[in-house]
Chains A and B, each alone.
Chain A
Amino acid sequence: MSDQSSVEILTEWDIVAARQLGRNVAKELGFGTVDQARITTAISELARNIYLYAGKGRIEIQQLTENGMKGILIIAADSGPGIPDIRKVMEDGFTTSGGLGAGLPGVKRLMDDFKIETILGEGTDIRATKWLR
């Protein structure tokens, strides 16, 4: 069972809209302030990656219920250029934009599950879940 809602990412301000949505859902589900901060930060990173590298895409927020556990699923999907070397982007400190290079590995650490699928020239689909404990 899942409830979902999404935000199109086109401008920098859509990043704010996406994480506002995520924060509201997380609050509704009963996540504490620390987890709320983790979830919104993860959304912020993923949305910014879409904005910076793909130009446009969407962030989807789903509420999950599985085996009596509640959780939040963030889907970041774009049809951008894709990622040539996943192993490299998951390394700390690797960056192509002059940033800190902590984005994707950081998101992986912030969340409980992290899946990334990317096809060169077709796009990237990232799914990250956080379970309510």
Chain B
Amino acid sequence: MNKQMAQYIQGNLTEIISQWQKKMKNEENERSFQMMSEELMTQTSHEFAELMISNLLESHQAYESRLNDFSEKVVRLGWSITFVTKAITHFAEIIYENMTQEEIIHEGNIAAYVKEFSNWIVPIRESTIQAYSKTWERTVSLQKIALQELSASLIPVFEKVSVMPLVGTIDTERAKLIMENLLEGVVKHRAEVVLLDITGVPVVDTMVAHHIIQAADAVRLVGAKCMLVGIRPEIAQTIVTLGINLNDFTTTSTLQRGVEQALAWTNRKIVEVED
């Protein structure tokens, strides 16, 4: 029965694809298919059809690798998963309708065919979803690693002076990372002054402030001083309104002034050289 279905599909492929394309174009909210070029659409449609048939004909392994290729391609094209599952459903529907019309499926064998169809479609749908979620999971975990690498590094700028630029949202996990890197870096670089630059932090709420205060306290414990720099005017106002007490801190508006202050603390200064 598998063979029969595959033969039918292969024999009427052009007709099925054109019906299927028409059905897919009627799907509202799906721009991706409507905006595709004719050539690309024909190619993708054929690939899709081949993928659908390959599950009927080929070995499980061949099908699996084909599915992987296809799902990667689809993800790149930006097809949504709802769109793809719709595509699968429509494809099966058309074949079922056509085969019923041509009376290949009739009352005598309908039960067997229904079972055959579900055996055919369900694994495709499941493995498509699996392939999708695998791609997403990989993307997310890669981005997470990328984000962690960007997270918080302590940069030695002068002897005894280091800077940690903070960019982006600070959540609990990052706050922990900031604290660890800060303390490790202070010891490693023998820093006496650490400048925490929050120019790139969009929102300073009580949680963020709390983490910064804790980090500064810890830095003090390992024998260095911590300075908070890069406080934008609007952030300064919200900090005051929130009632956060940063009196124990030296704070400056820009990194430049922070560096000057840090040099002063370590009994140095920058001078212009005259010829």
Contact = CB atoms under 8 A, between A and B. Distances in A.
A99 B208 CA distance: 10
B238 A37 contact: yes
Looking at chain A's contact residues, the main secondary structure is helix
Contacts of A40: 202-203
Contact of B206 (A19, A38, A99): A99
B39 to A, nearest CB: 39
B207 interface: yes
B243 A92 contact: yes
Nearest to A111: B241
Contacts of A83: none
Interface residues of A, number: 24
B18 interface: no
A85 B237 CA distance: 29
A6 interface: no
B234 interface: yes
A100 B202 contact: no
Looking at chain B's contact residues, the main secondary structure is helix
Given A36-B234, A38-B238, A45 B243 contact: no
Closest 5 CB pairs of A and B: A106-B242, A37-B234, A44-B205, A34-B234, A100-B206
B177 to A, nearest CB: 14
B6 interface: no
A41 B243 contact: no
Interface in B191-240: 202-207, 209-210, 213, 233-235, 237-238
Contacts of A38: 234, 237-238, 241
A102 B242 contact: yes
Given A45-B206, A48-B205, A13 B171 contact: yes
A13 B170 CA distance: 10
Interface residues of B, number: 21
Interface string A69-113: 000000000000000000000001000000111110110011000
Interface of B: 169, 171-172, 202-207, 209-210, 213, 233-235, 237-238, 241-244
Contacts of A105: 243
Contacts of B171: 12-13, 16
A88 B171 CA distance: 27
9 contacts: A44-B203, A99-B206, A100-B206, A100-B209, A100-B213, A100-B244, A103-B206, A106-B242, A110-B238
Contacts of B210: 99-100
A34 B172 CA distance: 25
A11 to B, nearest CB: 9
A122 B245 CA distance: 34
Nearest to A37: B234
Given A33-B234, A45-B205, 6 more contacts: A38-B234, A38-B241, A100-B206, A102-B242, A105-B243, A106-B243
